[in-house]
Structure 1
């Protein structure tokens, strides 16, 4: 049922539309036109009013009323933004592979997901396949902290479950576990002094930070937990004892209790070092997103598994160490799996995707819509 050439052509069209995070206006307008042409009612929320989203583009929330089907209303989602360098993408199609020209990303993250959803909607319309109602959410700002999903107007969401197309595995990969994440920013303040004439009068904030970090457990903590110190900045000159240093880090775990424990361990080491050297500490901690922890018997999982089997691809229930919009949706009470879409070497100029994966993505979405009519609980 999927029109492969139409799908591939649309994917190539989409990746050539610049949409780096904060610059999604053009792609949002194009997708609005496409969704309206398919018969969906499209609403743009005010997530774009957030300062970090730059030019004011909101999330697109498109609703398609049921056409006589008895299945549940559910959500299909992908994000519109890309990482840098994502301007002036020139896709190259050769031997069943689509890649960039090598000086930009390709943008299959996540325009492969968008293309699959659009093609599936066309097939459903052309074949008059029954469904109980669909919602499509195309988010902004996913690559800069899942900002669009966090600011989504959830009063507009009528779906009780969802499917996000934004994982790197092939069609058939179904993410049912993903970590909770915390980030923190620690500002350590010591005391400035001349490094050559009176260093003993100063409190070296960088030294304080180094003692704290040296005592932290970082990296792979266990099979479910990771932590990292990612940014350190401070000091103004080699002849001045640095008065201030800023440390930014993160903690992730599939188990919330482990995430909290690891976070507390790292913060405790900062507090101990600050006390030892008589410095001061300003801490900012934020929970970035909740975990995904879906039972294999959950309805969206069973639907995705059956749909994969129906199109002849292996259904793989798995976990990931990364976050996605699906984490935010689950945290809002919307049971949502993240589906593999075959994008490879994402966030690099070597990014590519197989045409076969593009086609299987759309086939899977069509089948999900069909299977949802048969599984109601």
Structure 2
């Protein structure tokens, strides 16, 4: 069913394109050309202008020949670093990087699978409802493309994001909300050798706060992490300022708020103890989503898996994706596995067979929309 060689060649072409976040111009133009070659009319929204990037999201509607609800299928155009000068290597059924960069299967695989799906439904005259395609920018730096996407052009009832790991047939149906946390700890500078007692170490305040903080896995729904610490200018100066970037995540809104407040209190108590100050801010990066087991989109995927010989599995993820944003817009959406592994590393790889199977599963989903 799938044209394996065509799909592989297109995937290799895509991953060789440099497409770092907010620098997706070449990828954007390439995808618009490919969609036009299929006879469609893609449009580019103004998300890039809002974000200071090179291009916007690509949105394209493929009109159907079947009176069923429209679906949105998406993948993101950007990659993480090191993502410049990527050289994919084929080793049997596996496509991997040459070990110096990422592969770019996250999310070049999702894009290639969508393009092959569009070609097959045309070539094989497969009946389907309206299909809306969106290739987003800046997903890797905070789902920014999806956040600024022109949803006035989207009327789909269901959404399928092709941006997850796991076996084919898996779909992430639950994901957490994330609070982005920033703390600026302020102490008092002094000469570290001559009069350290006249200083207040911001590092001491920070260490006290973090040592009393619940971090890592809080419970099955909640996590928290200190990610970046910046501070100090010299060893002979008592550090008077430290900046901490952190996060808290939970699928439960009350737990997310409680964890965020706990982290705030730890910083404030430590600052008071040492005689310093702290500026603490938190901002919600994206909302949680939770697709119930009896939802129609679940039934669609279960039937599609049965029809195409896969085992459907609804999974919970601890990460965020464009799926979070799409659900927040009232579109019932899930994140489908494309088989990617070891993502965000120079060991990233993907199975060609998994990509083929992902196309088969996606086409089966489109056939089962009702």
What range is the shorter-chain TM-score in? over 0.9
Which residue in 2 is equivalent to 1:61? 59
Contact kept in structure 2, 1:174 and 1:301, CA below 8 Å? no
Which residue in 2 is equivalent to 1:100? 97
- Is 1:81 the counterpart of 2:78? The answer is yes
Cα distance in 2 for partners of 1:214, 1:107 equals: 37
Give the superposition deviation at 1:189.
1.3
Q: What are the residue-to-residue correspondences of 1:186-335 with 2, within 5 Å?
A: 186-335=183-332
Cα distance in 1 for partners of 2:181, 2:22 equals: 23
Which residue in 1 is equivalent to 2:23? 23
Which residue in 1 is equivalent to 2:32? 32
Cα distance in 2 for partners of 1:186, 1:50 equals: 27
Cα distance in 1 for partners of 2:203, 2:99 equals: 39
Give the superposition deviation at 1:273.
1.3
Structure 2: state its 5+ residue gaps: none
Contact kept in structure 2, 1:161 and 1:335, CA below 8 Å? yes
Which residue in 2 is equivalent to 1:12? 12
- Is 1:117 the counterpart of 2:114? The answer is yes
Give the superposition deviation at 1:32.
0.4
Contact kept in structure 2, 1:98 and 1:355, CA below 8 Å? yes
Worse-matched range after superposition: 196-205 or 335-344: 196-205
Which residue in 2 is equivalent to 1:340? 337
SS state at 1:14 partner: helix
Contact kept in structure 2, 1:202 and 1:241, CA below 8 Å? yes
1:132-155 CA distance string (max 9 Å, x none)? 211101001111111111111111
Give the superposition deviation at 1:277.
2.3
SS state at 1:121 partner: helix
Cα distance in 2 for partners of 1:42, 1:206 equals: 52
Cα distance in 2 for partners of 1:102, 1:234 equals: 33
SS state at 2:86 partner: coil
Worse-matched range after superposition: 199-208 or 333-342: 199-208
1:19-58 CA distance string (max 9 Å, x none)? 122221111101001112223221111111245x54x211
SS state at 2:191 partner: coil
SS state at 2:340 partner: coil
From 107, 128, 136, the equivalent of 2:125 is 128
SS state at 2:339 partner: coil
TM-score (norm 2): 0.97
Cα distance in 2 for partners of 1:6, 1:295 equals: 37
Which residue in 2 is equivalent to 1:45? 45
Cα distance in 2 for partners of 1:12, 1:359 equals: 14
Cα distance in 2 for partners of 1:38, 1:298 equals: 33
Q: C-alpha root-mean-square deviation of aligned residues, in Å? A: 1.3
Aligned residues: 370
Give the superposition deviation at 1:263.
0.9
Which residue in 2 is equivalent to 1:149? 146
SS state at 1:6 partner: helix
SS state at 2:60 partner: strand
